[in-house]
Amino acid sequence: MSEAPSPSRALMRPAATVLENQEVARGTFRLRIADPEIARRILPGQFVMVRAAAEGTDDPLLGRPFALYDVQHDSSGKPTSFEVVYLVIGRGTDSLSRRRPGDRVDVWGPLGNGFGPSPGPGSALFVAGGIGQTPFLALGRDWLGKATYGDPSDSGRATTVSSATLLYGVRSAGLLAGVEDFERAGIGVEIATDDGSAGRHGFVTQLLADRFEAGDRPAKVVACGPPPMLAGVARLTQAHGVACDVSLENHMACGFGACFSCVTPILQDDGRPDLRRVCVEGPVFPADRVDWSRPSH
């Protein structure tokens, strides 16, 4: 597992400025926040907590976690802002979707362990279900050697992957968000929809099964999405002997290890499950360490 950065390194931003908050697909928004320091430090697979309380209120009280989508730079190459992409689900994301450029939101991060270095020199497959594609734009750029995230002095450059492909499943075509961003970054995209309105008719796990059937052996599979999809990906990769990490999306209250609202059973070296905080020890875990028989993720 990648080593988690110390929570004390997370930056608290009680009034970060919203630069953009644009609907990019049905109920799906891309939010850009000005913060050069978070933008400079954050790594693919890490996340930030964002809280958008209505003017003059504390509602909602808790922040909501969102994965890094991408980082923007000025003309001299200095990081200036970062983006997350979110689907409106309930109160927190609905409130966030009402923020306009110039509004302020509370942000804390970077949080969590991130995906770690490229498994190069083979290929990488990213499997996303629903809004699970969001961590893979930055990850693909990083592993393909097209962008650098975080402090370059923290790690040497790993061998890049030869190719990266996103297998992207959504319920219906209107929910597809950011396909052009991935293609522009040199990440191949294959789509599956539950209703057949775009790409392959069926679940995204079928795209992965087809690749294995055809003899594809990626250096690594990384998955993010609903737990049943993750469990399916874990089963398939294990059956074909391919390394797989998953990024879990448990409910979180604090995001930095203090409240234990996000714990999930993780199998230890002796095969027994022990509870781990997804916000600190995760959100990225080896798929074969997640206890898929228990319903807390």
Ligand X SMILES: Cc1cc2nc3c(=O)[nH]c(=O)nc-3n(C[C@H](O)[C@H](O)[C@H](O)COP(=O)(O)OP(=O)(O)OC[C@H]3O[C@@H](n4cnc5c(N)ncnc54)[C@H](O)[C@@H]3O)c2cc1C
- Residues that bind ligand FES in the complex, under the rule CB under 6 A: 252-255, 257-262, 277, 279
- By beta-carbon distance, which residue lies closest to ligand X? 90
What DSSP assignment string belongs to 258-286?
SS-TTEEEEE-TTS-EEEEETTTT-SEEE
90 scored as a contact of ligand X (CB under 6 A): yes
Q: Quick one: what does residue 92 bind among ligand X, ligand FES, none, with the CB cut-off 5 to 8 Å set by partner type?
A: ligand X
Of the residues 91, 171, 184, 217, which one makes contact with ligand X according to CB under 6 A? 91
Radius of gyration of the chain (CA): 18
CB of 255 to ligand FES, least distance (A): 5
The minimum distance between CB 139 and ligand FES, in angstroms, equals: 22
- Interface of this chain with ligand X, residues 24 to 43, rule: CB under 6 A: none
Taken in order 48, 49, 53, 57, the sign of the CA dihedral is negative
Q: Which of residues 253-292 bind ligand X (CB under 6 A)?
A: 283
Q: Which stretch binds ligand X (CB under 6 A): 5-13, 87-95, 173-181, 207-215?
A: 87-95
User: Between 93 and 165, whose beta carbon lies closer to ligand X?
Assistant: 93
DSSP string, 40-57: HH--TT-EEEEE---TTS
Q: Rounded to the nearest whole angstrom, what is the least distance from the CB of residue 64 to ligand X in the complex?
A: 4
In the structure encoding, which two tokens stand for residue 6, read together?
A: 């110390």
| Paired tokens of 243 | 């390394």
Among 2, 21, 81, 93, binds ligand X (CB under 6 A): 93
Backbone angles phi, psi at 131, to 5 degrees: -90, 15
Which among 113, 125, 107 is positioned nearest to 64, based on CA atoms?
Answer: 107
Amino acid at 150: G
For ligand X, the binding residues (CB under 6 A) are: 47, 64-67, 84-87, 89-93, 131, 134, 249-252, 283
